[in-house]
Amino acid sequence: MNMDKKVAVITGSGQGIGKAIAERLGKDGFTIVISDVNEESANRTSIELMEKGIESMAVQANVSSKKEIENLVEQTVEQYGQLDVFINNAGIDQVDSILNISEEDVQKIFEVNVFGTLYGIQAAAVQMKKQGTGGKIINACSIAGHRAYSLLGAYSATKFAVKAWTQAAAEELASSKITVNSYCPGIVGTSMWDRIDAGMVEYMNLEKGQAFEQFSKSIALGRTQEPEDVANFVSFLASKDSDYMTGQSVLIDGGILYG
């Protein structure tokens, strides 16, 4: 294993926050494995990284399938010989009144956000323990993992669950020198927030963009978040500088919640 060249896997990294994380870790010197349920976007992002001189490959995977996540780790190790950082970034949103959420909706969002995070933790930890060199598992939580929001009940529930996985896994894996932490973004100008805004417009009798605008007014630093703001913090979590930190779900929201 070439321990001088660290390898990072990022799920849901074909676009948005995941892509920004991939670009930042690539600049930090990591070899990057782009994974996304959308094979086309995964391949496109991987090619963009390679054009910038960053070693990368793409693996299509649906995080709600344990087998596909295990295969993602296997392909990574076959290609690069090791796994140092695994980022459970993939996730989906859902906007609905708590009285209207269907069984199918709950099943879908939990399969991706909750089960998918668990499968990523499991597959990464098994490989890292096999290597005996420790590692870093990093999960995507949210401000909604610290405070539930109306019309985002199911989404909030999944992010509270991610926070629980993070704490439990951190405690269990510490003896193997594997740290587990989460990043908790706020209001980021990505396609996910476009969908949240559209859903809230329907329920709140607003025009397009107004829900996003209303939420954005609560940000102390006076601007909405860029994917790079999240990526900068994930860079720290993936680095040696965070070696003494585990079990934390840290707000990176510009000052919406405090705690």
115-157 tens-digit pLDDT: 999 999 999 999 999 999 999 999 999 999 999 998 999 999 9
Asked, for residue 196, whether it belongs to a domain, the answer is no
Asked, for residue 1, whether it belongs to a domain, the answer is no
Asked, for residue 201, whether it belongs to a domain, the answer is no
What's the pLDDT score for residue 32? Answer: 98
Structural domain span for residue 148: 7-187+226-252
Q: Indicate whether 191 pLDDT > 80.
A: no
Is 15 annotated as contributing to ligand binding? Answer: yes
Q: What are phi and psi of 186, to 5 degrees?
A: -105, -110
Q: What's the number of domains the chain is made of?
A: 1
- List residues with catalytic annotation: 155
Asked, for residue 258, whether it belongs to a domain, the answer is no
Give kind and range of the element (H or E) at residue 51.
Answer: helix 39-51
Cα gap 14→90, rounded to integer Å:
10
Asked, for residue 29, whether it belongs to a domain, the answer is yes
Asked, for residue 257, whether it belongs to a domain, the answer is no
Asked, for residue 198, whether it belongs to a domain, the answer is no
Is 6 annotated as contributing to ligand binding? Answer: no
Is 12 annotated as contributing to ligand binding? Answer: no
CATH of residue 110: 3.40.50.720
Asked, for residue 19, whether it belongs to a domain, the answer is yes
Is 81 annotated as contributing to ligand binding? Answer: no
Q: What is the DSSP string of 131-169?
A: HTS-EEEEEE--GGGTS--TTBHHHHHHHHHHHHHHHHH
Cα gap 87→92, rounded to integer Å:
15
Encode pLDDT of 59-113 as tens digits: 999 999 999 999 999 999 999 999 999 999 999 999 999 999 999 999 999 999 9
